[in-house]
A and B are shown apart, each in its own frame.
Chain A
Amino acid sequence: MRYLLQRILFYVFTAWAAITINFFIPRMIPGDPVKSLLARFQGQMSTDAIDSLYVLFGLDKDASIWSQYLDYWKQLFHGDLGLSFTAFPASVSQVISDALPWTVALVGITTIISFLLGTGLGVLAGWRRGSWIDGLLPTTTFLSSVPYFWLGLLAIYLLAGPDSFFPSSGGYEPGLVPAWDQYFIPSAIQHSLLPALTILISSVSGWILSMRNMMVTVAAEDYITVAHAKGLSERRVALGYAARNALLPNVSGFALSLGFIVGGTLLVEIVFSYPGLGFLLFRAVGAKDYPLMQGIFLVITISVLVANLIADIAYLMLDPRTRKEG
């Protein structure tokens, strides 16, 4: 329990540091959003309009960095992440909460499937060495070394097209209204198939390989021989003794990868113009949309920290050696 408390304190400190850095970084980037907005309108704006834009974005006051920093925290505690420059007048929280479900659904579900599938295959491959799964390994390893955005482009080129079942971009059929109904849901699933497949193919082999290698290492341990000598069933030895121990590094890897779900697989979302958080971040950076960038970074930071905490807790539950007495 004390250990967990220490970890939580550590994460609170890290969160503070991350949020602070998050505050400073956009302010160090040269240029300001009004100028970039001007550039978008190619200077066809009156001085009055420009001035009112500065007022609107709160860039007119010559506030010190320190008071800006305090304001930033104050707003944060009210859940107010400010207004988005690009999606004006929508608030940042609004824009993010529109994009978040897409990313969480797509990348989240594929990450979980990939972990379960890869770990399962890895257990089999490691336990029965020389089986057909071992023959599969070079292929999956090759596919995982291909950058996944390129895999995505390839998938679009080969599988998607005007007459194809697979749409090449977007999260759903244009013209549909997002809702839980029989028109929208199938369309959303159809649009997610290709990006999901791309992510799955490029990530599954990592799980297979690490699980297989851990299984092979653990299978040489004395307690596995003892388990055999005890006359336990093959299943019990493979799962209760070998896989149970081999799983530990994979579980922490999985918990960490949960944190990166929210960041989205940026490039996949860009390639497929998927309306998720990664794509949003890409556009925010392009438009110098500080509040939006900060908001997204904040969400990513917090989710990575939460995932780390989950990894710690999972380890505590799975490995008695990490638990301290008392």
Chain B
Amino acid sequence: MSGEPVLEIKNLNVDYGLGDQAVRAVRDVNLTLHRGEVLGLAGESGSGKSTLAYGLTRLLAPPGVITGGEVIYHPENAEPYDVLGLDDRGLRKFRWAETAIVFQGAMNSLNPVHKISTQLNDVLEAHEPKMSAHSRTARAREMLKLVGISPDRMDAYPHQLSGGMRQRVMIGMALILQPQVVIMDEPTTALDVVMQRQILGQLIELRERLGFSVIFITHDLSLLVEFSNRIAIMYGGRIVEEAQATALYRDSLHPYSAGLLGSFPALRGARRELTGIPGSPPDLKGMPTGCSFHPRCPKAFDPCAGNIPVLGNPDTPDGSARTVACWLHPVKQPVA
């Protein structure tokens, strides 16, 4: 699984607003997505996970600004390049063809006045202008079939489809150019639980078949434990812990991860009390000093309030495969 990288995020910083009014929503984030893996990104609302996703695809709406960092994309058979340095034309070519996104608003992601076929066709027209109209239609039908929608729904309008079908169409649309990376920003939030599992199961199946990598953003850690290879936990705009899904589930190091895991019932094993996390997410305008989690942390001690812990490999047996930013776990080697 831990093959070559396909997307490397280096020291990414994203602000909302400019100058004195600016609020930093993503702080010094380092994250690597490897070829073929599912990377889960979890955290409470306002932890910066969606902002991170919008930032690395440069879809931030004003006043969001990327204030620093690099997003290195490794194409399959070409030299890697920095997505943040692309010009408008390069960016348009990069979008969807290399990195596609499935957004959280399943109901509003499709343009209400155009047919499904038109919206699928739009992508092909923009990215593969030489393709004939006939093969475009064939490709669109094929994609719909792939996500389990009868191709005779091609001429349907979005309002004629259910929420689940719309999100399937979006997934089909995301895969139509066979991108290397698919970002899923809470793709199943607007759907019921049964539909959630169906769609995610299908997605994992498709991933095995087509071999793309996934960044899966959600606040539902239980979903991630089940569906992802690796999980990164965000808090207050920073990554506070990153580990293999199973390692994080069995033995989380950061008290915040433990808190998130304690907020939902376990699927198996003994019954336990749900704890949740006291307090509320930090105000980005007035971040606590030191570790931003310390006011809510049950295990906070002396250094927490004064110094920001760095993200790095902890001094544990599996320490080289995971990172954490917490004073409880002295860092052997910080992440660059």
* B-binding residues in A (CB < 8 A): 220-223, 225-234, 236, 240-241, 244-245, 318-321, 325
Inter-chain CA distance A223–B114, complex, in Å, is 11
Inter-chain CA distance A320–B157, complex, in Å, is 7
Q: Which 4 A-B pairs have the closest CB atoms?
A: A231-B95, A222-B108, A222-B105, A320-B157
Inter-chain CA distance A280–B57, complex, in Å, is 63
| A229-B59, A229-B101, A230-B123 known; A223+B110 contact, CB < 8 A | yes
* A-binding residues in B (CB < 8 A): 57, 59, 61, 88, 91-97, 100-101, 103, 105, 108-115, 122-123, 126-127, 157, 159-160, 170, 173
Inter-chain CA distance A220–B61, complex, in Å, is 9
When C-beta atoms are compared, the residue in chain B nearest to A228 turns out to be B59
Measured between beta carbons, the chain A residues less than 8 angstroms from B113 are 244-245, 318-320
Inter-chain CA distance A245–B105, complex, in Å, is 18
Inter-chain CA distance A230–B91, complex, in Å, is 10
Q: Which of A229, A244, A245, A320 has the most CB of B within 10 A?
A: A229
Tell me whether chain A's interface is mostly helix, strand or loop, or mixed: helix
Q: Are B127 and A245 neighbours in the complex by a CB distance under 8 Å? A: no
Measured between beta carbons, the chain B residues less than 8 angstroms from A225 are 59, 61, 103
Measured between beta carbons, the chain B residues less than 8 angstroms from A319 are 112-113
Measured between beta carbons, the chain A residues less than 8 angstroms from B173 are 230
A72 to chain B, nearest CB (A): 45
Contact of B109 among A226, A231, A236, A240 (CB under 8 A): A226
B183 to chain A, nearest CB (A): 9
When C-beta atoms are compared, the residue in chain A nearest to B94 turns out to be A231
B135 to chain A, nearest CB (A): 19
Q: Which of B109, B110, B113 has the most CB of A within 10 A?
A: B113
When C-beta atoms are compared, the residue in chain A nearest to B183 turns out to be A229
When C-beta atoms are compared, the residue in chain B nearest to A229 turns out to be B101
Q: Are B126 and A232 neighbours in the complex by a CB distance under 8 Å? A: yes
Q: Are A230 and B114 neighbours in the complex by a CB distance under 8 Å? A: no
When C-beta atoms are compared, the residue in chain B nearest to A323 turns out to be B157
Inter-chain CA distance A225–B103, complex, in Å, is 9
Q: Which of A225, A226, A245, A319 has the most CB of B within 10 A?
A: A226
Measured between beta carbons, the chain B residues less than 8 angstroms from A220 are 61
When C-beta atoms are compared, the residue in chain B nearest to A325 turns out to be B160
Contact of A245 among B112, B159, B170 (CB under 8 A): B112
Q: List 21 A-B contacts (CB under 8 A).
A: A220-B61, A221-B108, A223-B109, A223-B111, A227-B111, A230-B95, A230-B122, A231-B91, A231-B92, A232-B92, A233-B126, A234-B88, A236-B122, A240-B111, A244-B111, A244-B114, A318-B113, A319-B112, A319-B113, A321-B157, A321-B159
When C-beta atoms are compared, the residue in chain B nearest to A248 turns out to be B113
Measured between beta carbons, the chain B residues less than 8 angstroms from A244 are 111, 113-114
When C-beta atoms are compared, the residue in chain B nearest to A227 turns out to be B111
When C-beta atoms are compared, the residue in chain A nearest to B57 turns out to be A229
Interface Cβ pair total, 8 Å cutoff: 77
| A221-B108, A236-B122, A240-B122 known; A231+B97 contact, CB < 8 A | yes
Inter-chain CA distance A229–B123, complex, in Å, is 10
Measured between beta carbons, the chain A residues less than 8 angstroms from B97 are 231
B94 to chain A, nearest CB (A): 7
A242 to chain B, nearest CB (A): 9
Measured between beta carbons, the chain A residues less than 8 angstroms from B157 are 320-321
A176 to chain B, nearest CB (A): 49
Q: Are B159 and A320 neighbours in the complex by a CB distance under 8 Å? A: yes
Inter-chain CA distance A241–B91, complex, in Å, is 19
| A225-B103, A233-B92 known; A245+B111 contact, CB < 8 A | yes
Q: Are A236 and B108 neighbours in the complex by a CB distance under 8 Å? A: no
Inter-chain CA distance A221–B110, complex, in Å, is 10
When C-beta atoms are compared, the residue in chain B nearest to A130 turns out to be B62
When C-beta atoms are compared, the residue in chain B nearest to A219 turns out to be B61
Measured between beta carbons, the chain B residues less than 8 angstroms from A318 are 113
A239 to chain B, nearest CB (A): 12
Inter-chain CA distance A221–B107, complex, in Å, is 11
Q: Are B96 and A230 neighbours in the complex by a CB distance under 8 Å? A: yes
When C-beta atoms are compared, the residue in chain A nearest to B60 turns out to be A225
Measured between beta carbons, the chain B residues less than 8 angstroms from A234 are 88
When C-beta atoms are compared, the residue in chain A nearest to B170 turns out to be A226
Q: Are A226 and B103 neighbours in the complex by a CB distance under 8 Å? A: yes
Inter-chain CA distance A95–B123, complex, in Å, is 58
Inter-chain CA distance A225–B115, complex, in Å, is 18
Measured between beta carbons, the chain A residues less than 8 angstroms from B105 are 222
Q: Are B126 and A229 neighbours in the complex by a CB distance under 8 Å? A: no
A249 to chain B, nearest CB (A): 13
Inter-chain CA distance A325–B160, complex, in Å, is 9
When C-beta atoms are compared, the residue in chain B nearest to A318 turns out to be B113
Inter-chain CA distance A214–B122, complex, in Å, is 23
Q: Are B126 and A236 neighbours in the complex by a CB distance under 8 Å? A: yes
Inter-chain CA distance A84–B93, complex, in Å, is 70
Q: Are A229 and B96 neighbours in the complex by a CB distance under 8 Å? A: yes
A292 to chain B, nearest CB (A): 45
Q: Are B126 and A230 neighbours in the complex by a CB distance under 8 Å? A: yes
Contact of B112 among A230, A231, A320 (CB under 8 A): A320
When C-beta atoms are compared, the residue in chain A nearest to B176 turns out to be A230
A131 to chain B, nearest CB (A): 14
Measured between beta carbons, the chain B residues less than 8 angstroms from A223 are 108-112
Q: Are B122 and A222 neighbours in the complex by a CB distance under 8 Å? A: no
Known: A226-B110, A229-B96, A231-B123. 15 other contacts (CB 8 A): A222-B103, A223-B111, A227-B122, A228-B59, A228-B95, A230-B123, A231-B91, A232-B123, A233-B92, A240-B111, A244-B114, A245-B113, A320-B112, A321-B112, A321-B157
